[in-house]
């Protein structure tokens, strides 16, 4: 449970959906009921941001899954945070493990994207997390601290930052980190923030967990002191997402 931090649940639709399936998601989000004490944000593919924004209830915010580091210009195939904002989205996810490991995004690029999106007025959900071989080699916190440092070096104002801890081995695999495993890392990230940034930022910044979060495991995870919400992939496309939004109730 997050103390006085507001619970935050993000739905990352990844490269899924079409207008018809988005209509179905909008329908179950409208039915809810959605806990008003939770910040709720869904991230459709870029091309459906406007369509999703138009359909979703006003208390569900919309995010982009990525964005570039420039306002505009000759960057074929890229999308600016200003365009994302123009379509009514208010958040962006940066450094998702699929961007880092499939598209080869570096810590530095993720940090630049995070900074530019914040400067453009978006809230940002930077993602960090270790791969299975890194966990097995006891490098979990080395990897996360390195990813955190790159991001933290570029952030001045933390008020619109929500950190997502997503162990790569738990994403889309059905293998959730146990509540204890997740809590252990969340606690260490918060301690890192306290030591490196400030006690105030450590206390106020939400750290959410992602990786095979489902209706059946969300309540146990939500009980942990340093787990302030979730970033949900597969289950955010299904009606059980409502249950996850309400996990802290
Ligand atoms: P998953 O994805 O819930 O399908 O494991 C989580 C994520 O990648 O954000």
C-alpha neighbours within 13 Å on the C-beta side of residue 50: 4
Calculate mean pLDDT across residues 71-98. Answer: 98
61 tagged catalytic: no
Question: What's the pLDDT score for residue 149?
Answer: 98
Using CA atoms, how far apart are residues 57 and 71, in angstroms rounded to an integer? 29
SS (H, E, C) the chain: CCCCCCEEEEEECCCCCCHHHHHHHHHHHHHCCCCCCEEEEEECCHHHHHHHHHHCCCCEEEEECCCCCCCCCCCCCCCCHHHHHHCCCCEEEECCHHHHHCCCCCHHHHHHHHHHHHHCCCEEEEEECCCHHHHHCCCHHHHHHHHHHHHHCCCCCCCCEEEEECCHHHCCCCCCCCHHHHHHHHHHHHHHHHHHCCHHHHHHCEEEEECCCCCCCHHHHHCCCCCCEEEECHHHHCCHHHHHHCCCC
Q: Tell me the pTM.
A: 0.97
For ligand 1, atom 3, which residue shows the shortest CA distance? 233
Looking at domain 7-245, its CATH class is: alpha beta
pLDDT at 249: 84
- Work out the average pLDDT over 68-91: 98
Neighbours of 36 (CB within 10 A): 8
CA atoms within 13 A on the CB side of 118: 21
Tokens read off for 185: 């890392």
Give the pLDDT confidence of 91-144 residue by residue, as tens digits: 999 999 999 999 999 999 999 999 999 999 999 999 999 999 999 999 999 999
pLDDT band of 206, cuts 50, 70, 90: very high
d(CA 200, CA 203): 5
Q: Which pLDDT value is given to residue 2?
A: 54
| DSSP strand pairing (162-165 vs 7-12) | unpaired
Q: Is the pLDDT of residue 204 over 70?
A: yes
| Average pLDDT over all residues of the chain | 97
Give the position, in ligand 1's atom list, of the atom nearest the Cα of 10: 9
User: Cβ–Cβ contacts within 10 Å for residue 145, how many?
Assistant: 16
Pairing mode, strands 206-210 and 162-165: parallel
Decide: 175 and 129 in contact? Cβ < 8 Å.
no
| b/e code 174-192 from CB counts within 10 Å (16+ = b) | eebbebeebbebbebbbeb
Identify whether 166 is a catalytic site residue: yes
Ligand 1, atom 9: closest residue by C-alpha: 233
pLDDT at 240: 98
Measured CA to CA in angstroms, residue 229 lies from 54, 108, 134, 184, 209 at distances of 25, 26, 24, 15, 6
Atom index in ligand 1 nearest the CA of residue 98 equals: 8
Q: Please report the atom of ligand 1 found closest to the CA of residue 164.
A: 9
User: What pLDDT does residue 123 have?
Assistant: 98
The whole-number pLDDT of residue 1 equals 52
Residues in contact with ligand 1 (CB, 6 Å cut-off):
12, 166, 171-172, 210-213, 231-235
C-alpha of residue 69 to centroid of ligand 1, in Å: 24
pLDDT at 176: 86
User: What pLDDT, on the 0 to 100 scale, is given for residue 4?
Assistant: 85
pLDDT surpasses 80 at 3: no
pLDDT in tens, 177-189: 899 999 999 999 9
């Amino acid at each position: 449970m997050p103390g006085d931090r507001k619970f935050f649940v993000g739905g990352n639709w990844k490269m899924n959906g079409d207008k018809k399936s988005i209509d179905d998601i909008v329908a179950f989000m409208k039915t809810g009921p959605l806990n008003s004490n939770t910040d709720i944000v869904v991230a459709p593919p870029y091309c459906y941001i406007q369509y999703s924004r138009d359909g979703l209830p006003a208390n569900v915010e919309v995010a982009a899954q990525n964005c570039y580091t420039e306002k505009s210009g000759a960057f074929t195939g890229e999308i600016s945070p200003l365009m994302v904002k123009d379509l009514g989205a208010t958040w962006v996810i940066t450094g998702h493990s699929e961007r880092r490991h499939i598209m080869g995004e570096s810590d530095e690029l993720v940090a630049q994207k995070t900074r530019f999106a914040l400067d453009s007025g978006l809230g940002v959900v930077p993602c960090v997390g270790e791969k299975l071989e890194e966990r097995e080699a006891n490098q979990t916190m080395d990897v996360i601290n390195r990813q955190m440092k790159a991001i933290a070096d570029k952030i001045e104002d933390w008020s619109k930052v929500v950190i997502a801890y997503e162990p790569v081995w738990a994403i889309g695999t059905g293998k959730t980190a146990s509540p204890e495993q997740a809590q252990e890392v969340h606690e260490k990230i918060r301690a890192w923030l306290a030591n490196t940034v400030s006690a105030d930022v450590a206390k106020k910044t939400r750290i959410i967990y992602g990786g095979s979060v489902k209706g059946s495991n969300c309540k146990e995870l939500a009980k942990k002191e340093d787990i302030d919400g979730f970033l949900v992939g597969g289950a955010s496309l299904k009606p059980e997402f409502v249950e996850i939004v309400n996990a802290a109730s």
